[in-house]
Copies of this chain bind each other. A is one copy, B any other.
Amino acid sequence: MIERLIRNLEERSYLSDAERAVLYALPWVRVTFSAEDELARFSDRPNRSNLLVSGLVARVRHAPSGGRQILALHVPGDFVDLQSFLLKEMDHTLTAMSHGELAAIAHADLTILFNEHPRLSRLLWRLSLIDASIHREWILGLGRLTAPERMAHLLCELCFRLGKVGLAADHKFEVPMSQVDWSDVLGLSNVHVNRVLQDMRQKQLINLRGKHIQILNWPELMSLAGFDPHYLHFDKAEIR
């Protein structure tokens, strides 16, 4: 189950045999969850962090007026709430969008790990910085892209991220989200998402029915989104 994390780290940097062994040897605890489970709630103080092994997980907040906003989406291989190790108190809620599995590790064990293997701490720190980079990309999208551009951008991002963990092939993948969920990611109304999707279908850009997504015209979708995968930092970095 830890292979997912190993792969994620090795997509973006290098691991020594020793480091790989150390990660395997950690006392991970396997946890399964169902769709709509809240894995951690606003103001909780978790004592362990979770690696997502399978399934889709979202970070969620609600505006005072009631609107729901998805702040981030996590795919398998992501260290979903590594942040609770250092931030202590949850500033949002972690909600499962599907059933799936986590590998949990106690914060106390992480402290030991990081003291003994500072380079590993840097590799995981780096993952959390990539999360922040994705946040910034979403800020740009919400602030300055139109609805169709935003939708296209999100689809490109998911195709890249899922592809990197072996969950997308031929621009085809599964995302267990309803149109209401999409609207909560994109900061739009569900009605408008419906219209945008219909337009994209009609233009033969995508084929989206239910959870199944097929991108039909990848170059056109990328160009509509103005997508540049740079911010996902899939380049292999020399981390010392």
Contact = CB atoms under 8 A, between A and B. Distances in A.
A144 B63 contact: yes
Contacts of A122: 86, 114, 121
Identical chains bound together, number: 2
Interface stretch (A1-9, A23-31, A123-131, A211-219): A123-131
Interface stretch (A32-40, A169-177, A197-205, A225-233): A225-233
A129 B90 CA distance: 12
A129 B226 contact: no
A111 interface: yes
Contact of A86 (B91, B118, B237): B237
Interface-central residue, A111, A125, A128, by most chain B CB under 10 Å: A125
Query: Which 6 A-B residue pairings sit nearest by Cβ, starting from the closest?
Result: A143-B187, A64-B226, A135-B135, A142-B142, A67-B144, A63-B144
Interface of A: 43, 59, 61, 63-65, 67-69, 71-72, 83, 86-89, 91-92, 111, 114-115, 118, 121-122, 125-126, 128-133, 135-140, 142-145, 186-187, 226, 230-231, 233, 235, 237-240
